[in-house]
Amino acid sequence: MNEGLNKPEYEIPPEMKHSVAITTIDRIYNWSRRSSIWPMMFGLACCAIEMICTAASRFDLARFGMEVMRPSPRQSDLMLVSGTVTKKMIPQIVRLYNQMPEPKYVVAMGACASGGGPFKEGYNVVSGVDNYIPVDVYIPGCPPTPQALLNGLITLQKKIDTQSIRDVRWYKKGTSETIPVPVLGPDIMDPREYDLLRQYTFQKLNPENINQPSVAEQEKGS
Amino acid sequence: MSAQVVTENVDLLEKFPQSVKQDDRAGYAGYIVSADHLLEVVRFIRDDMGFDYLASITGVDYLPNGLMEAVYHFYKTSGGPGLVIKTQVDREQAAIPSLVSLYPGADFQEREAWDLLGIRFDGHPDLRRILMWEGFAGHPLRKDWHEPYYEEEGKPYKSRWPEGKVYRREDKNPFHKNVDYPAGFDPDKWVPDDDSTLYASVNKISSAGGESGIKTDYVIVNMGPQHPSTHGVFRMVVALEGETIRALKPVMGYLHRNHEKIGERNTFLQNMPFTDRLDYLSSMSNNFGYALAVEKLMGIKPPERAEYLRVIMAEFTRISNHLFAIGSLLNDMGAYFTPMLYAIEERELILDIFEATAGSRIMCNYFRFGGVARDLPEGVEEKMRDLAFKRLPRKIDELDLYLTNNEIVKARGEGVGVLTPEQAIAYSASGPVLRASGVPYDIRRADPYSIYDRFDFDVAVRYHGDVYDRYLIRVDEMRQSVRIIQQALNGLPKGPIQEGKPQYLVRVPAGEAYGRVEAPKGELGFYVVSNGKANPWRYHVRAPSFVNITALETMAKGNKVADTVAILGSIDIVLGELDR
Amino acid sequence: MDGIGIIKGLGVTLRRFIATYVDDIKWLGRRYYKEEGIQHRSSADTDGIFTVQYPEEKIPVPEEFRFIPFLVYEEKDDGSVFYRCTSCGICAKVCPTQCIWIVRTTDPRTGRPVPEPAEFYIDVDICMNCGFCAEYCPFDAIKMDHDYELAVYDRHANNIYDKKKLGKPVSYYASIRPTNYKREEELRAEAEALKAAKKTPAN
Rounded Cα gap, residues B69 and B56, in angstroms: 13
Interface list for chain C against chain A, based on CB atoms closer than 8 Å? 49-55, 58-59, 67-68, 96-97, 123-129, 148-155, 159
Q: Identify the chains in contact with A, defined as 3+ C-beta pairs within 8 A.
A: B, C
For residue B339, say if its preceding peptide bond is cis, omega within 30 degrees of 0.
no
B359 CB within 8 Å of a chain C CB:
yes
Q: What is the mean pLDDT of residues A37-61?
A: 89
> Helix or strand or coil: residue B465?
coil
Residue in chain C nearest B359 by alpha carbon: C65
Contact B46, B40 (CB under 8 A): no
Contact B343, B326 (CB under 8 A): yes
Residue B525 pLDDT: 92
Contact A183, B179 (CB under 8 A): no
Partner residues linked to B240 by β-bridges: B219, B245
**CA B512, B518, B521: angle at the middle one, nearest 5?**
115
Q: Chain B, 198-227: which have a CB under 8 Å from a chain A CB?
A: 225-227
Contact B407, C2 (CB under 8 A): yes
Chain B: closest CA distance from residue A158 (Å):
28
Q: Give residue-wise pLDDT tens across range A12-36.
A: 667 666 655 555 788 888 888 889 8
> Helix or strand or coil: residue B363?
coil
**CA A62, A68, A74: angle at the middle one, nearest 5?**
150
Residue A210 pLDDT: 54
Rounded Cα gap, residues B408 and C4, in angstroms: 11
Q: Per-residue pLDDT for chain B (580 aa), expressed as one digit of tens each?
A: 334 444 455 688 888 888 888 888 888 889 999 999 999 999 998 988 889 999 999 999 999 889 999 999 999 988 888 899 999 999 888 899 999 999 999 999 999 999 999 999 999 988 888 999 888 888 999 999 998 888 888 888 888 888 888 888 888 888 888 888 888 888 888 888 888 888 887 776 545 445 555 566 788 888 878 887 778 888 989 988 888 888 888 998 899 999 999 999 999 999 999 999 998 999 999 999 999 999 999 999 999 999 999 999 999 999 999 999 999 998 888 887 888 888 999 999 999 999 999 989 999 999 999 899 989 998 899 999 999 999 999 999 988 888 888 888 888 889 898 999 999 999 999 999 999 999 999 999 888 988 999 999 999 999 999 999 999 999 999 999 999 999 999 999 998 988 888 888 888 899 999 999 999 999 999 999 999 888 999 999 999 999 999 999 999 988 998 888 899 989 988 988 888 8
A144 CB within 8 Å of a chain C CB:
yes
Architecture of domain B259-579 in this structure: Orthogonal Bundle (1.10)
Residue A2 pLDDT: 55
Residues C151, A139: C-beta atoms closer than 8 Å: yes
Residue in chain A nearest C51 by alpha carbon: A58
Sheet containing A105-109, strands listed edge to edge, beginning at the edge strand earlier in sequence: A78-82, A105-109, A137-139
Q: Range(s) for CATH 3.30.460.80 in chain B?
A: 3-11+18-122
Q: Give residue-wise pLDDT tens across range A71-90.
A: 888 999 999 999 899 999 99
Contact A135, A107 (CB under 8 A): yes
Query: ipTM of the predicted structure?
Result: 0.91
CA B477 to chain CA mean position, Å: 19
Record the pTM.
Answer: 0.90
Q: How many CB atoms lie within 10 A of CB C168?
A: 16
Residue in chain B nearest C16 by alpha carbon: B342
CB proximity list for B429: less than 8 A, separation 6 or greater = B105, B419, B437, B522, B547, B548, B550, B551
**H/E stretch holding B491:** helix B467-491
Residue A107 pLDDT: 93
Provide the H-helix boundaries in B93-195: 106-117
Confidence of residue A157 (pLDDT cuts 50, 70, 90): very high
Q: Phi, psi (5° rounding) for residue C178? A: -60, -45
Q: Residue C156: CA atoms inside 13 Å, Cβ hemisphere, count?
A: 11
Q: Identify the chains in contact with B, defined as 3+ C-beta pairs within 8 A.
A: A, C
CB proximity list for A87: less than 8 A, separation 6 or greater = A124, A125, A126, A182, A184, A187, A188, B178
Residue B504 pLDDT: 85
Rounded Cα gap, residues B424 and C200, in angstroms: 73
Rounded Cα gap, residues B551 and B264, in angstroms: 30
Per-residue HEC secondary structure of B398-425 comes to HHHHHHCCCHHHHHHHCCCCCCCHHHHH
Per-residue HEC secondary structure of C126-183 comes to CCCCCCHHHHHCCCCCEEECCCCCCCECCHHHHCEECHHHHEEEHHHHHHHCHHHHHH
Rounded to the nearest 10 degrees, what angle do helices B338-358 and C4-26 cross at? Answer: 50
Rounded Cα gap, residues C150 and B184, in angstroms: 44
**CA C147, A83, B354: angle at the middle one, nearest 5?**
50
Rounded Cα gap, residues A143 and A45, in angstroms: 10
Residues comprising chain A, all counted:
222
- CA-closest candidate to residue C118, choices C108, C127, C128: C108
Query: Above 60 in pLDDT, residue C72?
Result: yes
> Helix or strand or coil: residue B54?
strand
> Sign of dihedral through CA atoms B22, B25, B30, B35?
negative
> Helix or strand or coil: residue B324?
helix
Torsion of CA B270, B274, B276, B279, to 10 degrees: -150
Contact C125, C152 (CB under 8 A): no
CA B236 to chain CA mean position, Å: 19
A154 CB within 8 Å of a chain C CB:
yes
Contact B50, B78 (CB under 8 A): yes
Residue B3 pLDDT: 40
Domains and CATH numbers, chain C: 7-60 (no CATH), 69-199 (3.30.70.3270)
Contact B345, C16 (CB under 8 A): no
CB proximity list for A166: less than 8 A, separation 6 or greater = A22, A26
> Number of Cβ pairs closer than 8 Å across A and C?
102
Residue A88 with chain B: CB contacts under 8 Å? 132-133, 253-254, 256
Rounded Cα gap, residues B255 and B263, in angstroms: 16
Rounded Cα gap, residues B562 and C12, in angstroms: 27
- CA-closest candidate to residue B321, choices B141, B478, B471, B88: B478
Q: What is the mean pLDDT of residues C13-28?
A: 87
CB proximity list for C154: less than 8 A, separation 6 or greater = A138
Q: Range(s) for CATH 1.10.645.10 in chain B?
A: 259-579
Of C9, C65, C96, the CB nearest to B270: C96
B254 CB within 8 Å of a chain A CB:
yes
User: Is 3.20.20.10 the CATH number for B3-11+18-122?
Assistant: no
Rounded Cα gap, residues B133 and B528, in angstroms: 26
- CA-closest candidate to residue B481, choices B288, B308, B315, B307: B315
Chain A: closest CA distance from residue B38 (Å):
33
Rounded Cα gap, residues C24 and A153, in angstroms: 29
Residues A140, C154: C-beta atoms closer than 8 Å: no
Residue in chain B nearest A194 by alpha carbon: B187
Of B179, B341, B362, the CB nearest to A188: B179
Residue C157 pLDDT: 86
Rounded Cα gap, residues B312 and B314, in angstroms: 6
> Number of Cβ pairs closer than 8 Å across B and C?
145
Residue A21 pLDDT: 54
Chain B: closest CA distance from residue A105 (Å):
18
